[in-house]
Structure 1
Amino acid sequence: MSELHHTPAPDATSNDALQQAFDATMVADGTIEPNDFMPDAYRRTLVRQISQHAHSEIVGMLPEGNWITRAPSLRRKQILLAKVQDEAGHGLYLYAAAETLGVTREQLVDDLLDGTAKYSSIFNYPTLTWADIGAIGWLVDGAAIMNQVPLQRCSYGPYARAMQRICKEESFHQRQGYES
């Protein structure tokens, strides 16, 4: 993963106090914000998780985007356009959350392109029929909602706030998939 840029604690005593404050926040189910102290392992894990999530949102819009011109009706085309636009926005929200951890969007995308970073493998399957698009919306987005709702209460503030907005839109996507 790309190098993270942050300022280390000045000395061991100070670092111990910062670690204790971090641990107390975690025990109290508190929120960590970008300027708060966080251990390097916590920061690295967040970068990996948020970037994988962002990449999955961006890559996930590609199979559906291929069907925009072939949607069976103007109404379905309009819905699919809105969904693809939403998914792009989700990726951007998540890239912005990752950037608060000291990585650049360019680093994140480079890591995806060189294979260092991953995305959800479900998007590697072909979408050969309109029914595949419905299945993505109903089943894949439904499963995503189950995984993402708890993230609205995660310990990292920017990620939790991004997830609150994303989860509202994912519910719309699941409903549209069911109706397809």
Structure 2
Amino acid sequence: MYAQGLINASGDPNAAETPEQLARFQARIDAEEKIEAREWMPAAYRKTLIRQISQHAHSEIIGMQPEGNWVTRAPSLRRKASLLAKVQDEGGHGLYLYAAAETLGISREEMQDQLLSGAAKYSSIFNYPTLTWADIGAIGWLVDGAAIMNQIPLCRCSYGPYARAMVR
């Protein structure tokens, strides 16, 4: 779907990277320019972005589960509504991130297959059970607080689609 953005300057997606290309790319990074999906980038940069963005997207989607399990058990209608909004928000974040990763030439299905096979990872904090309502509070306070601190610098990352997804 996005293959036209995956071709390097020579037109050959498998052409070797030259030292000049790498130097120009590094100069753009050093100048804090945004790299866009249709622009040339080193294979290692693309591979790292795919891994990082897919892990981030998976963490958003998997992160819906602990809170989603508590929607029916929340102590009040107001808290149920708050949890539903939070779960929906996490799902939206995951979709934005999957879309950003797709600009790098990997499909959503491939990323999900990697997650289900164990080849891709997500934040391990979501492996711990949320046995009490207080656990939900801890997730909201500690886990989400830490995620916000990580996501603020990502708004300024070098890959344009990822940076824009983080602003949303």
TM-score, normalised on structure 2?
Answer: 0.90
**Correspondences of 1:129-148 after superposition (within 5 Å):** 129-148=132-151
In 2, the alpha carbon distance for the partners of 1:144 and 1:13 equals 37
TM-superposed deviation, 1:17: 4.2
| Overall identity of the aligned pairs, in % | 72
Give a deviation string over 1:69-93, Cα, whole Å, max 9, x none.
0000000000000000000000000
Which structure features the higher share of helix residues?
1
Instruction: Tell me, yes or no, if structure 1 residue 119 matches structure 2 residue 122.
Output: yes
Unaligned runs of at least 5 residues, structure 1: 166-180
Match of 2:30 among 5, 27, 30: 27
Q: Please say if 1:58 is aligned against 2:61.
A: yes
CA contact (8 A) 2:6 2:40 kept: no
Give the secondary structure class of the aligned counterpart of 2:24: helix
Q: In the alignment, does 2:113 pair up with 1:110?
A: yes
2:6 and 2:38 in contact (8 A); partners too: no
For the 8 Å contact 1:22–1:38, the answer to whether it is kept is yes
How far apart are the structure 2 equivalents of 1:84 and 1:54? 14
Partner AA of 1:105 in structure 2: R
Looking at structure 2, the residues matched to 15 and 35 of structure 1 have their Cα atoms a distance apart, in angstroms, of 18
Gaps of 5+ in 2: none
After TM superposition, the score normalised by the length of structure 1 is 0.85
Over the aligned positions, Cα root-mean-square deviation in angstroms equals 1.9
- Name the SS for the 2:158 alignment partner: coil
Aligned residues: 161
Q: Do 1:9 and 1:15's aligned partners in 2 also have CA atoms closer than 8 Å?
A: no
Q: Secondary structure at the match of 1:26?
A: helix
Deviation (angstroms), 1:15: 4.1
Kindly state the Cα deviation for residue 9 of structure 1 after the two structures are TM-superposed: 4.5
Structure 1 counterpart of 2:160:
157
Q: Deviations over 1:123-173 (max 9, x none)?
A: 0000001000010001100011111110000000000011111xxxxxxxx
Q: Which moved more, 1:22-31 or 1:33-42?
A: 22-31
